[in-house]
Amino acid sequence: MDKPFIGVSMSRDEQVAGAPRDWIRKTYILAVVGAGALPILLPNESQSLELLEYCDGLLLTGGGDFDPESFGATDEGTDYSGVSKTRDEMELAFIRAAERMAMPVLGICRGAQALAVAGGGTLIQDIPRVLLDSPLVHSQAEKRQQPTHKVVVEPQSQVAKLLGGSVVEVNSFHHQAIARIPRGYIVTARAEDGVIEAIENPDKEFMVGVQWHPEDLVGNSLEAQKLFAGFVESSRQYRERGQRYGTASH
């Protein structure tokens, strides 16, 4: 049985010893493989848009902050880290292409924010500056596989069906969050301080973003495994419908 191909976006460090570098944490690869798919890494080069056409699903990974210009905002003077305009532009192009092809998309952390930005939404540039009274720490110091806060999931949503629960323990490595969701999307999970933790587009087969990092939780979280399994299953169906480039009508 052919395995679906999952295109996986990559982080970009603009300057490492004077040269840019595209890279990825291995847990994304292991989570994709563990769910029965094969990852195809998408470097931050325009040719990756061609490569994406051979994929059956798009996984948008976590990483550095979006340049506020990309969502029509000005720099509020927060401590941006890992900003790469190249990556911003590439991922927004990946999302537009995936939408055009009706390809399943799972956005993780920055990837969820990418879905919001691509659709015309906006981001909170720095959670601690906006939510002064929040008792939650969204930039956890604990190790990556350690859940540190709860999210409350909207019943009946795709995310609820995927996770199989209404309250889920998650990890948290973000100082930014989605402020305004794009038209067509709904918020499907929030932290207890109100921070948006998951969004989805109910008109699409699979267009889901989660603010936490399920790829680091798959070892000990059934919900995280189910999320990847559901995404890979949608990608398998996309492939079986003959939508992949080369087997589709074009």
CB of 137 to Mn ion, least distance (A): 9
- Residue numbers of the site for Mn ion (CB under 5 A)? 138, 172
* Four-point Cα dihedral 139, 144, 146, 147, nearest 10: 50
CA distances from 120 to 41, 59, 117, 184, 199 (A): 26, 20, 5, 11, 14
* Smallest separation, CB 212 to Mn ion (Å): 6
DSSP 33-90: HHTT-EEEEE-SSTTHHHHHTT-SEEEE---SPPPGGGGT----S----S--HHHHHH
- State which residue, 86 or 134, has the beta carbon closest to Mn ion: 134
The pair of structure tokens assigned to 120 is 């015309």
Nearer to Mn ion, 137 or 248 (CB): 137
How far apart CA 68 and CA 76 sit, in angstroms, is 9
Q: Write out the two tokens for 21.
A: 């570098």
Cβ-closest residue to Mn ion? Answer: 172
**C-beta of 191: minimal distance to Mn ion in Å?**
5
Smallest gap from Cβ 188 to Mn ion, in A, equals: 14
Task: Name 209's bridge partners.
Answer: 107, 199
Cβ of residue 184: shortest distance to Mn ion, in angstroms? Answer: 23
* Residue with smaller CB distance to Mn ion, 138 or 226: 138
Least separation in angstroms between residue 16's CB and Mn ion is: 28
Phi and psi torsions of 173, nearest 5°: -135, 60
Nearer residue to Mn ion within complex by CB, 172 or 225? 172
- Integer angstrom CA distances of residue 4 from 31, 61, 235: 14, 18, 6
* Cβ-based nearer residue to Mn ion, 138 or 244: 138
What secondary structure does DSSP assign to 175-211, as a single string?
Answer: S-EEEEPPTT-EEEEEETT--EEEEE-TTSSSEEEES
Nearer to Mn ion, 70 or 172 (CB): 172
